[in-house]
Amino acid sequence: MSRERMHRFAAIAGVDLICEYENGELTAYFDNTIDSPLMHDPVLRKKLREGVAENGVFFLLQDPFNAYYFALACGDGWLYLGPMCNSRLYAPQREQFYQNYHIRTKESRPLRVFTLRQIKDTAVLAVSLFCGIDIKDEELFMARPSDVSPEYDIQKEQQLQLSTNEAYSDEGLYRHTYYEEQQMLKAVQEGRAEDAIRVSESMDSDSGRFSSQDMQHWRILATIDITLVARAAIAGGILPEEAYRLSGYYIIKCVAAKEKKAVLYYRNRSIEDFCRKLRALHQKQTGSGYTVKCKDYVHKHFREKIYIEDIAKPLGISGGYLSRLFKKETGMLIQDYINQVRVERAANLLIYSDSPLPAIAAYVHFPTQSYFGKIFKQIMGTTPNEYRKTHKVNEFWMDTPPRQGGMSALKSNMAPRGEGGRIAD
């Protein structure tokens, strides 16, 4: 690539661009080299070269001031880009920043603030332009943060953590536009994780400052994002208790994280999880509008006596027609679908509560415990007691004791709604 194009790339990207050859010679493709960390600090360049050697072709480094530097092997040398600051550095911080890189300047220049999305895009574009390689964000952006749990532990911890409370209120805190926020929430409801994460990251730098401490700011910001995403997921059809459990898990992980990149990792991971659940839900809701609305009715009223006529009448069709259509499109009877939904809810309670079987059976509206046990075994292949023994995580309640009245309140709220009954088929 010509020197002129290199200059243009550096100017458009807003970063210092330097080439270092194997003999140590440096070539700068920008004008103001007086206060460039990449020009003045050989230790920084050495870290970048070592990162490239360890990771392959490219490497992204984050310094203590939340500034990023990108390096890639190119020809007989290395290309360096940076700094790309992810948070604003005020005068005292800028002075410390330049001192850290052995730069003496009477008046330090303000450093441009980049969103994480802009940092990713700059790095991806550099690899494409200078190496001719097309890569995805996840291939280059940060190694897994040191305080991020392994994949297995994340899945295990989600089973252990049950939360039904939102942690913070989100009203009036954002400075970004309402339109951007709605874009993100719409992407979540439609299960488009990549789009939702991209918009969320683009809003990070536009949000108000929630704390003078940088880590506390990002923890609060992530909590707000996760809370909003959980609400969007509920609006998209996820059950509130499931959304609260998942959001509670990720909020706790963000609050406990010791690195900013871990906070953002869990924030983005929560978006991915909610989107995956919504996509799965949308895939289940296939068939005609009548079938989808029938399923929706069952999910909302599974704790009550359900009659086909109550579903069909608002749709302007007969109960018989709805029954035949549902069987044709799903391969199962409406009554069987109702039992399946009730058993799925009961299975969740068997794992995450200490409530007795009669209370659970009544809660999901089975007329008797014996009938509940019979249907449960037909669907799950095991009895409720055996299912609880196999899946129950006893240490959950030891690690997270229920709040005062928590379990008794759950039991008291599990009284059946009306008398036991069957669907009028």
Tell me the per-residue pLDDT of 337-362, one tens digit each, with 9 for 90 and over.
999 999 988 988 888 777 899 999 99
State residue 287's pLDDT score. Answer: 55
Q: What is the mean pLDDT of the chain?
A: 79
The string of pLDDT tens digits covering residues 123-157 is 888 888 888 777 776 666 544 555 556 655 666 66
Look at 117 and 149; give whichever has higher pLDDT. Answer: 117
pTM recorded for the entire structure? 0.44
The string of pLDDT tens digits covering residues 246-303 is 888 899 999 999 888 899 999 999 999 999 888 887 766 555 678 888 988 898 899 9
CA distances from 150 to 147, 154, 166, 199, 266 (A): 9, 6, 25, 26, 12
- Asked if residue 196 has pLDDT above 60, the reply is yes
CA distances from 137 to 116, 117, 124, 134, 203 (A): 11, 9, 7, 10, 18
The string of pLDDT tens digits covering residues 41-80 is 999 999 999 888 887 788 888 888 888 999 988 878 899 9
State residue 113's pLDDT score. Answer: 87
Look at 333 and 403; give whichever has higher pLDDT. Answer: 333
* Cα within 13 Å of Cα(175), Cβ side: 7
CATH tag for 3-140 (out of 3.30.450, 2.20.28, 3.30.70, 3.40.50): 3.30.450
Q: What share of the chain is helix, strand, coil (3-state, %, to 5)?
A: 60, 10, 35
The answer to whether 414 touches 363, Cβ cutoff 8 Å, is yes
Q: Where in the chain is the domain with CATH 3.30.450?
A: 3-140
Confidence category of residue 407, pLDDT binned at 50, 70, 90: very low
Q: Measured between alpha carbons, how far apart are the two ends of the chain, in Å? A: 74
Q: Greatest CA separation found in the chain?
A: 86
Look at 2 and 268; give whichever has higher pLDDT. Answer: 268
State residue 368's pLDDT score. Answer: 93
Which of the residue ranges 90-104, 202-216, 351-365, 394-408 would you say has the lowest mean pLDDT? Answer: 394-408
- Asked if residue 169 has pLDDT above 60, the reply is no
State residue 418's pLDDT score. Answer: 36
State residue 271's pLDDT score. Answer: 94
Q: Which fold has domain 289-412?
A: Arc Repressor Mutant, subunit A (1.10.10)
| Spatial CA neighbour of 24 closest among 3, 54, 49, 53 | 49
Q: Where in the chain is the domain with CATH 1.10.10.60?
A: 289-412
